[in-house]
Amino acid sequence: MITVYGSDHCPDCRNFKFNLAANEIPYTYVNITDSMPNLKRFLHLRDHEAIFEPVRLAGNVGIPCIVEPDGAMTLDWEAWLRDRGITHIRYEDDAPEGAACSLDGTSC
């Protein structure tokens, strides 16, 4: 089962969860804005994994972060779905495709 780090405030996270549920894909969700331990768990990944380097440089958060059981990670939820044969990706809200939340709050 995959683990998804995200926030219910993030449109990409909500849309990924929406698609996981619609396709009955089991997952564990770690809401990083729900508790300090969840945030610390995510920050440990974000601060130490190379996949986050471009995200950090761009001033973005890096969610949703999908962690496979073998530890492999991706930040591209739409590609993750397509790689599993899910070509009809649905959106629960009006978030622009590929929207990402920035740390300074200027985009989300």
Q: Which pLDDT value is given to residue 103?
A: 55
Describe the chain by its helix, strand, coil percentages, rounded to 5. 40, 15, 45
Q: How far is CA 77 from CA 17, 35, 36, 37, 98, in A?
A: 10, 23, 24, 24, 9
Specify the DSSP class assigned to residue 96: P
Look at residue 4 and give its three-state secondary structure: strand
The pLDDT value given to residue 13: 95
Instruction: Sheet containing 73-74: give its strands across.
Output: 27-31, 2-6, 65-67, 73-74
pLDDT at 56: 93
pLDDT, averaged per 10 consecutive residues of the chain (108 residues), comes to 96 94 96 97 96 95 97 97 91 56 56
Q: Give the pLDDT of residue 1.
A: 97
Query: What pLDDT is stored for residue 89 in this prediction?
Result: 85
